[in-house]
Amino acid sequence: MDLKVNTHRHRSWAEPWRVKMVELLKMTTYEERKKALVEAGYNTFLLRSRDVYIDLLTDSGTSAMSDRQWAGMMLGDEAYAGSENFYHLEEAVKKYYGYKYLVPTHQGRGAEHIISKLLIKQGDHVPGNMYFTTTRLHQELAGGTFHDIIIDEAHDPENEHPFKGNVDLNKLDALVKEYGAHRIPYVSIATTVNMAGGQPISLANLRELREYTRKHGILIIHDMTRVAENAWFIKQREEGYAGKSVAEIVREICDLTDGATMSAKKDALVNIGGFLALNDPDLFDRARNMVVVYEGLHTYGGMAGRDMEAMAIGIGESVHDDHIRARVGQVEYLGNRLLAHDIPIVKPVGSHGVFIDAKKFLPTVSQDKFPAQALAAAIYLDSGIRTMERGIVSAGRNKKTGDHNYPKLELVRLTIPRRVYTQAHMDVVVESILEVYDQRSRIKGLKMVYEPKYLRFFQARFDSLS
């Protein structure tokens, strides 16, 4: 028998896996949630997981591992030195990402710490396609000053530019003219840009950046936390890439950069782990020496052998077209349903979550009353769904003036863990957001009553203004 192959007919993004084991969820009452929220100081980071129904706090370390990864866990070689699993991981990093040298770390920020300390001198300047919280903090602690060189479109939630992660080379050139290339050790490039709403950078832009930085002797350090998701968007949106596989595009991205920091808790489908990857043998030598001070020996870097094995397998699974199509497809499903109800979200829908524009959702709450923080609290109160703030609280304070940084984007992030929740869960999320939208006039904002010095969004506490 024969059928015509019709590649034009739409086929849904349905998951390329089936469920083998389930984890039961707890449903809570309104009173229980109210009590939990007050105890947590209106900060969703301070809620206990047992009080959460659908957890969209983060896609970090929350993925479901495959049966193959779990089988790999049983092959953990828990030797202090020279674990077999390290060599499997090294092979996977070389094969799928193409970097020559691997320094394992306990998670992404461990790698950021090492590369910042190695490359940044006091008074240096580090441009990047928008900041990330831990990345920027490590750059600052090493004596550097971060500069945002992302295109202006990235700061406008309404703008539907297909590559809002792109770098504005004029902004970079202005920095080079002002400070001199010798004060700019590297450009920090994220794929996809988390803080812009999971927005990709194009290969055309990255190529131009490579040319420019080569001319000026500046390195590119790649925050490759979501590189496979970025590659998927390139395949969908960039001319000439529709016929390439995600794996091929991932390699092309990595090949344009000098080294990378990886939070394997995202793309690479593990619950803990990360690494620094480099191409320069001398820099690698220094990094491998430094890792023993802060993380662990250079063949485990803070991870158990079994975690390295699961990561090696997860990296291979993460660059499959079928996996990424369903992963991003689920996020787009949620985003499109919210858009159909005119809920203000960042457009286009990003790779790892849907970002609600809290300034538009709560137009009467001024930014110093933490609208996104208040909205995340209200969503939890309504349904037990946990989201997080990405706005003024996350942006922290200005290093010099001590005042709040007032970011243009004031967002609530609904982050989708990989391979964890179903389409029906996404429908419940939509129902809850619509309920809170109907009652938005009751949300008056929050007052911060406790503020930690570093990365305040994790542990700050608030009181309700209503």
Tell me which residues touch ligand PLP (CB under 6 A).
60, 107-109, 132, 134-135, 190, 194, 223, 225, 263, 265-266, 274
Minimum CB–partner distance for residue 403 and ligand PLP (Å): 25
Nearer to ligand PLP, 54 or 270 (CB): 270
Nearer to ligand PLP, 194 or 432 (CB): 194
Is 223 known to be catalytic? yes
Instruction: Say if residues 112 and 261 touch (Cβ distance below 8 Å).
Output: yes
Minimum CB–partner distance for residue 428 and ligand PLP (Å): 25
Nearer to ligand PLP, 221 or 460 (CB): 221
Is 133 known to be catalytic? yes
* Beta-carbon contacts of residue 126 (< 8 Å; ≥ 6 apart): 120, 139, 144, 145, 146, 147, 184, 185, 186, 187, 188
Which one is catalytic: 390, 413, 419, 456? Answer: 390
Q: Which position has the token pair 């002797």?
A: 217
Residue 362 is classified by DSSP as S
d(CA 349, CA 236): 13
Residue 218 is classified by DSSP as -
Is 457 known to be catalytic? yes
Minimum CB–partner distance for residue 275 and ligand PLP (Å): 10
d(CA 191, CA 255): 13
Minimum CB–partner distance for residue 4 and ligand PLP (Å): 43
User: Could you tell me which residues are beta bridge partners of residue 354?
Assistant: 414
Which one is catalytic: 44, 58, 62, 133? Answer: 133
Is 369 known to be catalytic? no
Position 307, amino acid: D
d(CA 174, CA 197): 26
Nearer to ligand PLP, 60 or 199 (CB): 60
Nearer to ligand PLP, 253 or 381 (CB): 253
Using CB atoms, what's the residue nearest to ligand PLP? 108
Which one is catalytic: 99, 132, 333, 437? Answer: 132
Long-range Cβ contact pairs of 87-91 (< 8 A, separation 24 or more)? 88/308, 88/309, 88/312, 89/275, 89/308, 89/309, 89/311, 89/312, 89/315, 91/312
Burial label for 149, CB within 10 Å (0-12, 13-18, 19+), is buried
Cα 275 to the center of its chain, rounded Å:
15
Minimum CB–partner distance for residue 436 and ligand PLP (Å): 26
Minimum CB–partner distance for residue 134 and ligand PLP (Å): 5
Nearer to ligand PLP, 272 or 339 (CB): 272
Q: Which residues of 421-438 are buried (b: 16+ CB within 10 A; e: fewer)?
A: beeebbebbbebbeebbe
Minimum CB–partner distance for residue 138 and ligand PLP (Å): 9
Nearer to ligand PLP, 306 or 390 (CB): 390
Which one is catalytic: 266, 306, 347, 386? Answer: 266
Q: Count Cβ atoms below 10 Å from residue 63 Cβ, excluding itself.
A: 23
Answer left, alpha or beta for residue 459, where phi above 0 means left and psi between -120 and 50 means alpha. alpha
* Beta-carbon contacts of residue 123 (< 8 Å; ≥ 6 apart): 143, 183
Q: Which residues are catalytic?
A: 80, 132-133, 223, 266, 390, 457
